[in-house]
Amino acid sequence: MTNSLSNAFDAESFRKKGYAMIDQLADHLQRMQSPDLSQKVYDQTKPEALYDFWKKDLDAPTGNWYEKTLAQIIHLHHPKYLGHQTAPPAPEAVLGELFGAFLDPGMGIYEQGTTGVVLERLISEIVADKIGFSPETSSGFLTSGGTLGNLTALLCARAVKIKTDVWEHGYQGKQYAFMVSEEAHYSVDRAVRVMGMGAAGLIKIPVDDQFKMNTSLLEAELIKAKKNNVEVIGVIANACSTSTGTHDDLEAIADFCQLHQLWMHVDAAHGGALLFSRKYRHLLKGIERGDSVIFDFHKMLLTPSLVTMLIFKNGSHSYQTFAQRAAYLWDNQESGEWYNLAKRTFELTKTSMSFRVYALLRNGGEQLFEDYLDRQYDLGRTFAQMIKALPHFEMPVNVPESNIVCFRYAAPDKTAEELNEINGSIREAIVKEGEFFIVQTRLKNQIFLRVTLINPSTTVEHLSALLLKIQSLLK
Ligand SMILES: Cc1ncc(COP(=O)(O)O)c(C=O)c1O
């Protein structure tokens, strides 16, 4: 071995640096949980400044780069992190990831993935049971994010529902489409375009005043599509929508799909986690009637990203998604061994996602999930009441269904344009200052402040402080 190789694989150096890094992260976590935490959640720095900083560091490395990163990066474990839907990873799941990253077997084929592949199956059986799918006939796997999960599910729907062989011969001039609420995540639109179906491949159904798909419009839209020679192959339901956290009526969508023999895909990237909450499970009523379901463990189930479950009611469908030969990996593409996952996934070399989930499940995970979900969803409702008590604030939904809460300042003497400007500048000022991190969204052309109550250490006191800060910015 050359010097560089023996240094790179030196076990003692790994041990020393590994312990030091874990110490550093544990100290950071402790700091984030301290009652007198004064550290900012976020230090807004221009990309060019950070680029110059790291270029210098790379050219002449000095000091500890983990420490430098900790001083710059956004802190998901900070109780005032109220931004995007990325959960603060639970340390146990992080250790699972570290373990998997070190061993790094690759989950695409069984001869490499072995234990990790089996764990994926066990996890998918737990999920099947929670959904109400038959453990014998359903089948699922983990994949790299909700975006890829949605694309994979829609590709499968296409393979099952279209009578001709699109995989081999393309669409042959025919226009197919999926229906989805206008509030769907952009990954659905992207998936349909990636599939070559174009803009006409997605029929966007308007939402009602609570941002749920207006399912009473589905029939008329289907008739209109037929008239235009568009064949609808499926409907995608939101559970829940990204902007407002609203759940579509899964029963109504399932009735429609059943009547017209359409594929029903449930994009439960955020809300699918509620399978683990007895209190809020009712929001997913009808999910068991879906043909495919995705949800992200890295959103509301505390793993580091990315860990997405894609599960099919009829597991045999999942083998129809791709039809490519790979003689060096397996002899027969047509055979459906559950343990050669790459036959059904985009990824071949797939990370050991199951280790992250299993690490939690083995350590009281189901109870942890339920405690976490109930707490965060309860907090969403409490926060909504706090907003309602303020003069001149409004919310787009009467009662938030999830831990995503949108609201805005809406004094009656201001024009729509002024209100957009005021709310946009509130968000900008908050992020710039760095004590809190929140995001914004645009609903029916109005800018709303948007928080996701995703941190288990966020309390009512933190939320009161946020509202006081917002009010102070209005002065
Ligand atoms: C409803 C919904 N679907 C899909 C996605 C995409 O998931 P990912 O970021 O894991 O690719 C998101 C992300 O926010 C989402 O909210």
At 475 the pLDDT is 83
Structural domain span for residue 128: 98-365
Is the residue at 62 inside a domain? Answer: no
Kindly list the distances between the CA atom of residue 458 and the CA atoms of 46, 81, 372, 437, 444, in Å, as whole numbers in the listed order. Answer: 28, 8, 12, 12, 30
Q: Which bin fits 364, alpha (ψ -120 to 50), beta or left (φ > 0)?
A: left
Indicate if ligand 1 lies below 6 Å from the C-beta of 221: no
| Residue 300 tokens, joined | 């509301």
For ligand 1, atom 4, name the residue with the nearest CA: 146
Name the stretches of the chain with pLDDT < 70: 324-327, 330, 333-334
Is the residue at 407 inside a domain? Answer: no
At 333 the pLDDT is 67
Indicate if ligand 1 lies below 6 Å from the C-beta of 97: no
Which of 39, 18, 28 is closest to 89 using CA atoms? 28
DSSP SS3 for 142? strand
Distance from residue 328's CA to the centre of ligand 1 (Å): 33
Distance from residue 38's CA to the centre of ligand 1 (Å): 32
Torsion angles phi and psi, residue 454, rounded to 5 = -110, -10
Please check whether residue 70 is in contact with residue 24, taking contact to mean a CB–CB distance below 8 angstroms: yes
- Our mutation pick for probing the ligand 1 site, out of 151, 183, 187, counting the most ligand atoms within 8 A of Cβ, is 187
Indicate if ligand 1 lies below 6 Å from the C-beta of 270: yes
At 324 the pLDDT is 67
Indicate if ligand 1 lies below 6 Å from the C-beta of 267: yes
Nearest atom (ligand 1) to Cα of 242: 16
DSSP count for the chain of H helices, then E strands:
16, 11
Which of 292, 295, 291, 249 is closest to 276 using CA atoms? 295
Which of 426, 463, 473 is closest to 448 using CA atoms? 426
Mean residue pLDDT across the chain: 96
Is the residue at 354 inside a domain? Answer: yes
Indicate if ligand 1 lies below 6 Å from the C-beta of 300: no
Kindly list the distances between the CA atom of residue 36 and the CA atoms of 26, 31, 64, 469, 470, in Å, as whole numbers in the listed order. Answer: 17, 9, 26, 18, 21
The predicted model scores a pTM of 0.97
One-letter amino acid of 336? G
Give the position of tokens 């809020």: 280
Distance from residue 234's CA to the centre of ligand 1 (Å): 19
Is the residue at 317 inside a domain? Answer: yes
At 335 the pLDDT is 75
d(CA 108, CA 94): 22
**DSSP output for 188-220:** HHHHHHHTT--GGGEEEEPB-TTS-B-GGGHHH
At 199 the pLDDT is 97
Residue 316's Cβ-side half-sphere holds a number of Cα atoms within 13 Å equal to 4
DSSP SS3 for 78? coil
Report the CATH number at residue 171: 3.40.640.10
For 24, other C-beta atoms within 10 Å of its C-beta total 14
d(CA 318, CA 159): 9
d(CA 474, CA 10): 57
Which of 371, 349, 308, 282 is closest to 123 using CA atoms? 308
Number of domains within the chain: 1
Is the residue at 50 inside a domain? Answer: no
Is the residue at 35 inside a domain? Answer: no
At 326 the pLDDT is 67
H helical segments located in 218-316: 218-227, 250-260, 297-300
Q: Which bin fits 286, alpha (ψ -120 to 50), beta or left (φ > 0)?
A: left
Is the residue at 338 inside a domain? Answer: yes
User: Which helix (H) or strand (E) segment is 436 a member of?
Assistant: none
| Residue 318 tokens, joined | 């999942």
**DSSP output for 314-353:** SGGGGGGS-----TTT-S-SSS--TT-GGGTSS-SS---H
Is the residue at 77 inside a domain? Answer: no
Nearest atom (ligand 1) to Cα of 299: 10
